[in-house]
Structure 1
């Protein structure tokens, strides 16, 4: 068996690769927004993949994590269950003596709304002009299809890898990464892992952590068309206006983080704080009694605490806001309240790790010029690296339009068919390369 024969086999399966991606897109696996939200088509998709992988010679375990089986952490909200959202672990056994390799991917997708804005049905993928359009084609059902077809091609050629090749498809990555976390606690582990998230076939070895939360500023209602009076005597206070110094403080902190040499990373953007949702007021002629701002915070590995979490980041934010409020008597007497929710820890596999270089060589063999980069957001590779004792990197299809804007999470999301095929080729070559003798 040669690399040439592997690549030729995947070329032969190109139409099947597109068809498989279309099949996966047709399952509505829109991410849930809360622990109690009912499941959609997650179980059907996992059983579909399990049947296909078993037919190719793999063992496949489709399991539903028990409620409360995950350790309590900032990543796993109280009451989290997986009813109707199973995880899949498939294994192509090696001959022995080699290293194991894991392909991991998430089956959930972000909402396709507003669906009326799409040029075609987002859950009926179609090819137009060499591009496959549909929700999840890029992020990341195309990557999952590429991993499956890569494994099927090797099996069809009779390739017996020295080490095991595993495929883990998980839920909830777009929310809190709980599916891969549950898979790790179920026993998913390998000597190395590749997550075929869209990367333009670059190798991503580092990613920032994410912290989500809200800050709520109190006011006092009153008729907006009358002078508010003295708040000390019961007068009205405009919560929206009192939120302005809080936002200014957060902006200054973001700028301070960006300018701090200690917060520079060779592969990652600086840490950031972005207000993303604001809710305030009760009636258009009433001084607002409260104003709530949702925050999306990204932070670097160096900012994480000993457990990888964002306690230091939270403390820095709250301390900065309290200091900014000290000049305002109302805010001193009624300090803003913080509530922290989603938290995803950062992780990195050093750019000098052999996994990065050997995977880049697989992409180079396809005529690509892969770079070693950082991911400004977050992927399940962090969970595998930090908690699964499995160094994980990302490599997958192109995620940018010619103008540089992203295709993932957008209206008319698409993947280049040629990229889909190249991703499958790179993963197949990586399976041969990385499962060799330990």
Structure 2
């Protein structure tokens, strides 16, 4: 009989690993079932729900059958904690959240598995080798939208919990599973779950990480900058704007873009912004809209901005107020020499804001995950996430230190499989993820060592 990482010596962990291995077909089937629910992320607050409610009820019934209590709840707009993450009054009609609990025997730490059920669009569907919403096994891989990001991770978490229950293992601490909507948009589902009371002593988000442990992630600030112009016939000299002449808004956007590039380069060069796990903060212009007609000077030009920032740049509340000020101040200074822009300053509008987060690498959960993945023959690393996950919401707003660990997300050439045509997951990685989560649950839910 062998223990693992502080788990009770009475638990045969080899039996746990063997039981999960024997359920490989069940793991493939569960992932395939989840792929079959169309849970494509909404494009805006008003877009109707798809199969989110059916998926959550399916999982709830399965988890109840395994011995968990399960609550499927639809948040009301006022249930969300106050934060800049979501638009005011955001509704969840047809998009419920799920929290399931395998109750512990008492005295142990609680552990939360959290995953998002929404997936990005599968368009253009005609470029897929097979139907993106009908999972297909080929050459040891499971193909379909969401297999990698992150319905495979959710399936691994469910199988891990079910296996422990089927073996009659009662953990000392509670094991919770929270499946949420809207992560691909603004993290609203996990935010609503936190408002509902979801929290634990620690959490694992089985996002695809190549079974590395992700302890830090950048924050995201989304917005736009608009420059005004004055319309006029493009084939005539524009004249002086002070006397009603035309102004080309697209050309006036050029010094703004140069200023944004300067901010990005300054951040990259500033050693105070260096992070051992994360890329430098950045500003990326992603969408540009301008002009009304091909022979008319454009009356306006708008550029969408994707801003990523480090935990050290966050304000006292963990948000991006200082980042916004830095950007707006730099642009205002850069365009002040242009008479038109000085008189008609660029206008910023900020919307999505997702907080950065970091968990201490010395946290017990990190050690348990590293030890367990190593035991399974992997060489896990501690990494940072250049983008954002729901782990940040749990860490910052639920007092629940959360890290990411999940299946492989890269092809042999190093390119990502998530969000791509013919998204897939290695079946062996699904199994390895389920094993890692199960053994880590044994370790993490044990009573914490007494302070010396």
TM-score for the superposition, normalised by structure 2:
0.96
**Structure 1 match to 2:120:** 110
**Structure 2 match to 1:24:** 34
**Structure 2 match to 1:152:** 162
- Find the aligned partners of 1:131 and 1:237 in 2 and give their Cα distance: 56
Trace 1:1-400 onto structure 2 (pairs within 5 A): 1-400=11-410
- Find the aligned partners of 2:244 and 2:139 in 1 and give their Cα distance: 66
- Find the aligned partners of 2:346 and 2:209 in 1 and give their Cα distance: 39
Structure 2 counterpart SS, 1:277: strand
Structure 2 counterpart SS, 1:152: helix
Deviation, structure 1 residue 72: 3.3
> What whole-Å deviation, never above 9, does each CA across 1:335-362 have from its counterpart, x for those lacking one?
1100000000111101122221111111
Structure 1 counterpart SS, 2:80: coil
**Alignment length (residue pairs):** 438
Structure 2 counterpart SS, 1:43: helix
Deviation, structure 1 residue 405: 1.0
- Find the aligned partners of 2:111 and 2:264 in 1 and give their Cα distance: 39
Deviation, structure 1 residue 227: 1.3
- Find the aligned partners of 1:256 and 1:262 in 2 and give their Cα distance: 11
Contact residue 81 and residue 192 of structure 2 kept, 8 A: no
Contact residue 52 and residue 96 of structure 2 kept, 8 A: yes
Structure 1 counterpart SS, 2:403: strand
- Find the aligned partners of 1:178 and 1:306 in 2 and give their Cα distance: 22
Contact residue 211 and residue 310 of structure 1 kept, 8 A: yes
4+ runs deviating over 4 angstroms: none
> What whole-Å deviation, never above 9, does each CA across 1:171-190 have from its counterpart, x for those lacking one?
11111111111111111111
Alignment partner for residue 414 of structure 1, among 400, 405, 424?
A: 424
Deviation, structure 1 residue 417: 0.6
Contact residue 140 and residue 197 of structure 1 kept, 8 A: yes
Contact residue 111 and residue 173 of structure 2 kept, 8 A: yes
**Structure 2 match to 1:435:** 445
- Find the aligned partners of 2:294 and 2:134 in 1 and give their Cα distance: 43
> What whole-Å deviation, never above 9, does each CA across 1:38-90 have from its counterpart, x for those lacking one?
11110000000000000001000000111222233211211201111110000
> What whole-Å deviation, never above 9, does each CA across 1:98-125 have from its counterpart, x for those lacking one?
1111000000011111111111111111
Contact residue 79 and residue 196 of structure 2 kept, 8 A: no
Q: Which moved more, 1:67-76 or 1:38-47?
A: 67-76
Structure 1 counterpart SS, 2:302: strand
Structure 2 counterpart SS, 1:185: helix
- Find the aligned partners of 2:123 and 2:84 in 1 and give their Cα distance: 29
Output the aligned Cα RMSD.
Answer: 0.8
Q: Which runs of 5+ in 2 are unaligned?
A: 1-10
- Find the aligned partners of 2:362 and 2:438 in 1 and give their Cα distance: 22
> What whole-Å deviation, never above 9, does each CA across 1:181-214 have from its counterpart, x for those lacking one?
1111111111110000000000000100000000
**Structure 1 match to 2:5:** none
- Find the aligned partners of 1:2 and 1:280 in 2 and give their Cα distance: 65
Deviation, structure 1 residue 328: 0.6
> What whole-Å deviation, never above 9, does each CA across 1:121-172 have from its counterpart, x for those lacking one?
1111101111111111000000000000001111111111111100000011
Contact residue 35 and residue 79 of structure 1 kept, 8 A: no
